[in-house]
Structure formats: structure tokens, C-alpha cells
Structure 1
Amino acid sequence: MQIRQLGAGDYDDRMALSQFAFQMRLTEEQLELRRKSYRPEEEWGAFDERGELLSALSILPLETWLQGRLLRMGGVAGVATWPEARRQGCVSKLLLHALTVMKREGQTVSMLHPFSFGFYRRYGYEMTIERKKYTIETRQLPPRKDTPGFVKRMAERDTAVLDAIYSAYASRYNGNILRTPSWWNERVFRKEGMFAVYYREDRTPEGYVFYEIANGLMTLHEMAYVSDTAYTALWTFVANHDSMISEVTWMAPVDDSLPFLLPDPRIRQEIVPYFMTRIVDAQAFVKEYAWEPDAENRENEETVLLRLTDEHAPWNEGEFRLVWSAAGEGRLERIEAGEAASRAADEDFISCDIQGLAAMLAGGRRPTWLAAVGRIAGPGERLRVLERRIPNRTAYLVDFF
């Protein structure tokens, strides 16, 4: 078996595999349209001795917001295998190769949408992003409120206006991605629907809703806003469709406040597991991560001992000192054999696998909670130090890849 990057000449084989694996049928026109945006440098495949494609995946070079900072991220997508090649280790070899590629490219973190959470946990990924699905009957929509400014439907999609709102909104969460112009055009604008934008009285745009109406159902593809007034105005706009719809659906952040603001909060709500995250390079990730500063300790560094396990990325495995400056800059220092710290008692270390580290740093799971459910272990005092250094921010992802 050979693992290699795909070339321009592999497009037809890659699309044949993708159509089969994801049970879709594209027209010749659609295939030619996708050929124009095909990026072989993002595609990797497992080939047999005859050079035939067995399995493939994409590594999308993205950036994701974590604690308000943009980190380079490898988005794993389009994982597919022909049935005759399954259970032969093709995907396993591709995923392990992808880790090496992402580390080399400086992508310290990776994300994917799993077909099976259990399968990808075996390769170091952990669930970090859940979404709250609302299904709201027309009679349950928020009451219409007068707000300053106005909401107007976009006659033509203005990427600059939308992206400014989206970026301000998305950066408030852990997990959202930075959208490039090509992402807007190839991913977002490909969906059916309309945009409506909220403008302040001075005509400054502060929010938008991207929605579609079909067969009496209003689907909110996304809602982004930078003020409470914008949020209220957009929901009033949605409620103004009450004569033509029977219900509204939206995949909201898990901390969204809408039910609390409703006269009758007994709307249908479902927490839906969505994306998984993996830390590719723990030492580089810790250096880039925005830790909480220590306001009471302006001069001295603070340290916990960390025993990290990672079956598939040996560069992450071992004993480390996790050190923070008073300003909140972190570093992960490997403890070499023979050092005094390596002779510390087991109970001095926080023991954690790579999945637990992702759950803490990208998924909003607090260290003391993870310890209570048996996912990490360590002295309570050290766990509380670690917890104090991790900013508490909700994980959310608007997009799909």
C-alpha cells in the first residue's frame, strides 16, 4: 500500500469514490464545476500496488478561533474507502500519516465531523462541539419588539458586510473557523436561502440571519450578531413570517439564551453532538493557546506536572512541566529521564490522555469535572490550578466540512 498526495489526474477517481461513499450522484455539470475548485494538494490517498485508489481523505488548511486567538487547524474531511478495501487498515494509515503532515505544516490542532465518535476516539479525537437544536412552532416565537435601526433583506450578497459580522460573532466561541472569500463562495453561498441584515440607526451592520423557507418550514442556516439589540431585531424579523410558516429550526450554541427570553420556554430543544477535535502538537499548541493570566501573581511563574499519553503521536507522549507566566503565556517543557521532576511521586502528576487535553482546552470541559467522571486524574490542588488557567468559553461551530 502506498500513501501519497493526489494529483490533478486523480480527480475522477476521487469523485467516484466520494459519490459512492457519501451516496450522492452529481451531474456532469456539477462535476465540472467542482473540478474548478479541486485542490489536489489537500487530498491524500491510499493506493494498491497497481496504483488504484483505495481510500482518501482531505486535509483542509483552516484557521480556528480558540480563546479569541486564531490557530492553524487541519480540517479532516471526505474520509472514504471502497468496500473491498475496508478493514485493511487504509483509513488508519491515512489518519496517522495526516498527523505527520499537519504537524509539519504547523497545524497544531485538527477537527472533523465523525461518522462514528468511537472510531475517531481511537485516533486521539474527542467530542468538543455540541449544538442546541431548536424547533419552534409559530405560536411559540418570541414576541415582536420595537428596536432602533432596521432589518433589510440583501438584494445581492455582500461578503464584506457579512464577514465582518460573522468574524466578530464567531471569535466569541471556541471552534469556529476563519472564513476566506473562497469559503464564503464555495461553501456558504452554495446553500439556498436569503440574508437579512440588521442595521443600527447610523446604518452600521450589527447582525444577520441566513434563512430558507420551504413547505412552511423556516430553516435558519445561521444567525450572527454583535449586540443584544441585533439579536432581538433579528428574532422580530423571523417572527414577522408567522403567516407563512408553521415552525422554525436553528442549530444554536449550547449557551444560547432564547428559551429564557420566551413567554413560554417549552420549545423543543435537543443537544446534538457535532464535531471532534484533536491536538496535533501539544507543545506548540500550549505555546499558542491564550491562557488565563494570574492577576494576583505578577512576577512568579506557576507550574503543574502533566503525564500525557498519545498512542499515535509519540511527540506528545511523556512527562511534562506545564508552565505559565503571570501574563498568561504557557509552555510545555518535556521532563527528560533523570531530571528531579521525573522522580516525583505519581500523585504529583495530572495524568491525561490527548483526548482529555482537547476536551479541556477546546471543548470547555473543566478539569475537576473530567476528574470526577474518571477521564483525568491528579491532586485536587493541581487540578484547580489548571482549571483557573483555562478561560471558560463555549465551544460552537457554525460551519460544516
Structure 2
Amino acid sequence: MEIRQLRASDYEERMALSQYAFQYQLTPEDMEKRRSKYLPEQDWGAFDEQGALLSALLLIPLEAWVQGKLFSMGGIAGVATWPDARRQGCVNKLLVQTLETMKNNGQTISMLHPFSFPFYRKYGYELTVERKKYTIETRLLPPRRETPGQVKRMPKPDIEVLNGVYTAYASRFSGTLVRTWDWWENRILTKTGNVAVYYNENETAAGYLFYQIENGKLTVHDWASTTENSRVALWTFIGNHDSMITEVNIIVPADDPLPYLLPDPRIKQEVIPYFMSRIVDAEAFIEGYAWAASERAESVTLELSDAHAPWNNGVYRLDWSAEGSGRLVRKGEGSGSSDVGDGAIVCDIQSLTAMLLGNRKPSLLVEAGRIRGSADEVSKLEIRIPERTSYLMDFF
């Protein structure tokens, strides 16, 4: 079996596999349109001895916000295997190859939307992003309130304006993507709908709503709000459609407080497990991570295991400065080293990912049996991890 990046000449084979695996059909015209935008260097494939494509996946170069800082991220998507090639280790080899590629590219983290959470957990990925979906009957919408500024419809979406609001909003979470101009044009604004923007009293855009009304339902495709006034104004704008609609559907962060703010909070809420993440290069990621400051410099001992990225395996001293910078200093050569103290924090890459990318407290993971360590060491680690909601508005 050969693992390599695809070439332009592999386009037809790749598209045939994708259409079969994801159950869609392209017209000849659509095939040609996609050919002009095809980036074979982002596609990795497993080929048999005769050169036939068995399995493939996309490795998309992206940037994601984590604790207010930007990190290079490898997005895994389009994983597909022909049925007669399944359970032969194709995806295993592809994922191992892409982990090495991401490390070499400086992509310290990776994210994906799983077809199966148990499957990708085997490769060190962990659930980090949950979202809430509201279905709100019109009679239960937030009360309409007067606010400074004005919500204006934007007949022709201005990406510069929308992206400015989006970036200010997205940077408050961990896991949200940096959106390029191309991403807006080909990933966001391809949906049918209308755009409305909230401008504050200084005529500065501070929130937006991308929505569609169909069959008496208002569906929000994309939404960003940077101030309380913008949040209230956008909900008031939605409420002004009460004579046209019977319900509103919207996706929000897992910690969204809307039910608490409603006069009657008995709206339908669904918590949806959404994306998984993985730390690819623990040393580089921890050095770039925005740790919380403390009164003094301190450290803990960390024994880390990673079955598919062996460069992460080892016993480390995790050092923090008083100001909040951190680094991993390797102490031993792996699990069982004599350098591991009795109180050392012992965890795998999934648990480290859950703590640093998924907003899961170390103390919770101790209770769940996912990590172990002395109470003092675990407490030091917990204090150093700032609380920040994980969220993702996009799909890939």
C-alpha cells in the first residue's frame, strides 16, 4: 500500500470515491467546475499495488482561535474508503501520515467532524465542541426592546463588514476558525437567505444575522453579536417577523444564556456533540498556549502518552512563569520512567486535549478516571487553565 498526496490526474478517482461514500451525484458540468478549484495537495490517498485509489482524506490548512490566540490547525475532512478496501488499515495509515505532516507543517492542533466518535477516539481525537440548538415558538421569543443604534438589512453582503464582526465574536471562544474571503464566498454565503447588520449609535457594525424564512420558519444560518445591545437588537429584529413565522431555529454556543433571560424559558433545547479536536504537537502547543498568570513560577510533572504521535510520549516538567507562559521540558523517555514522581499527572493525549481545547476541568477528569495525579498537582494545573467556551460556527 502506498500513502501519498493526490495529483491532478487522480481527480476523477477521488470524486468517484467521494460521491459513492457520501451518496451524492454530480453532473458533468459540476464535475468540470469543481476540477478548476481542486487542490490535490490537500488530498491524501492510500493506493494499492496497481495504483488504484482505496481510501482518501482531506487535510485542510486552517487557523483556529484558542484562548484568544491563533493557532495553525489541520482540518481533517472527506474521509472515504471503498467498501471492498475497508478494515484493511487504510484510514489508520492515512491518519498517521497526516499527523506527521501536520507536525512538520507547524499545525499544532487538528479538528474534524466525526462519523463515529469511538472510531476517532482511537486516534487521539476527543469531543471538544458541543452546540445548542434552539427551536423557539414565536410566542416565546424574547420581548422586543428599544436599543441604541439600528438593525439594517444588507441586500448585498459586505464581507469586510461581516468578517470584522465575526472576528471580534469568534476570538472570544476556543475552536472557532479564521474565515478568509474565499471561505465567506464559498462556504458561508452560498446558502439562500438575507443578511441584517446591527450598527451601534456610532454607526459601527457590532452584530449580524444571516437568516432564511421558509414555510413559516425563520432559520438562522450564521449569527454574531459583540455587545449586549447588539444581541438584544438582533432578537428584536427577529421578533419583528412574528406575523410571518411560527418558530425560529438557531444554533448557539453551549453556554448561551438565552433561556435564563426569557420570561418563559420552556423552549426546545438540544445539546449536540459536534466536533472533535486533537493536540498534534504537545510541546509546541503548550508553549504557545495562553496560560493563566499566578503569583509565582511553578511546575508539575506530566506523563503523557500518545499511541499515534510518538513524539508526544514522555515524562515532562510542565513549567509556568508567573506571567502565564508555559513550556514542556522532557525528563524521561516514556511511560514508566524513574523520573515520574508519585504525584505526577498521568494522562493520554485525548485527556490533555479535553482540558486545553475542550474546557474540561482536570478535577472532573480525575473523578471520571481519565487522568490521575496528586490533588496538589491537579489543582496547580486547573488553576492555570483559563475557562473559555469551545465553539465552532463552521463545518468542513
TM-score of Structure 1 vs Structure 2, range by shorter chain:
over 0.9
Quick check: 2:315–2:340 contact (8 Å CA) kept in 1? no
Mapping 1:183-262, distance limit 5 Å:
183-262=183-262
Match of 2:307 among 301, 306, 311: 311
Q: Secondary structure at the match of 2:64?
A: strand
What residue number does 2:144 align with?
Answer: 144
Deviation, 1:15, is 1.2
Matched to 2:317, the amino acid is: R
What residue number does 2:377 align with?
Answer: 382
Matched to 2:364, the amino acid is: W
Deviations 1:358-398 (A, max 9, x none): 00000000101111111111101110100011010000000
Deviation, 1:257, is 1.2
What residue number does 2:298 align with?
Answer: 302
Q: Distance in 2 between matches of 1:38 and 1:391?
A: 40
What residue number does 2:182 align with?
Answer: 182
Deviations 1:222-271 (A, max 9, x none): 21011000000000111111111111111110111111111100101111
Q: Secondary structure at the match of 1:368?
A: helix
What residue number does 2:58 align with?
Answer: 58
Deviation, 1:10, is 1.3
Q: Distance in 2 between matches of 1:194 and 1:204?
A: 20
The alignment's TM-score, normalised by the length of structure 1, stands at: 0.96
Larger deviation, residues 7-16 vs 276-285: 7-16
Quick check: 2:314–2:333 contact (8 Å CA) kept in 1? no
2:165 matched to 1:165? yes
Q: Secondary structure at the match of 2:155?
A: coil
Deviation, 1:346, is 4.5
Matched to 2:289, the amino acid is: Y
Matched to 1:398, the amino acid is: M
Matched to 2:178, the amino acid is: L
Matched to 1:312, the amino acid is: H
2:279 matched to 1:279? yes
Deviation, 1:307, is 0.6
Q: Secondary structure at the match of 1:14?
A: helix
Deviations 1:339-364 (A, max 9, x none): xx953565221000000000000000
Quick check: 2:55–2:85 contact (8 Å CA) kept in 1? yes
What residue number does 2:318 align with?
Answer: 322
Match of 1:333 among 329, 334, 344: 329
2:33 matched to 1:19? no
Matched to 2:329, the amino acid is: E
The alignment's TM-score, normalised by the length of structure 2, stands at: 0.97
Q: Secondary structure at the match of 2:79?
A: strand
Quick check: 2:315–2:333 contact (8 Å CA) kept in 1? no
Deviations 1:161-214 (A, max 9, x none): 000000000010000010111111111111221111001122110000111111
Deviation, 1:278, is 0.5
Deviation, 1:111, is 0.2
Deviations 1:289-321 (A, max 9, x none): 111111x22xxx210000111011110011111
Q: Distance in 2 between matches of 1:36 and 1:192?
A: 24
Q: Secondary structure at the match of 1:290?
A: coil
What residue number does 2:362 align with?
Answer: 367
What is the aligned-residue identity percentage? 59
Structure 2 unaligned blocks of 5 or more: none
Quick check: 2:109–2:277 contact (8 Å CA) kept in 1? yes
Structure 1 unaligned blocks of 5 or more: none
Quick check: 2:137–2:247 contact (8 Å CA) kept in 1? yes
Matched to 1:199, the amino acid is: Y
Q: Distance in 2 between matches of 1:33 and 1:207?
A: 34
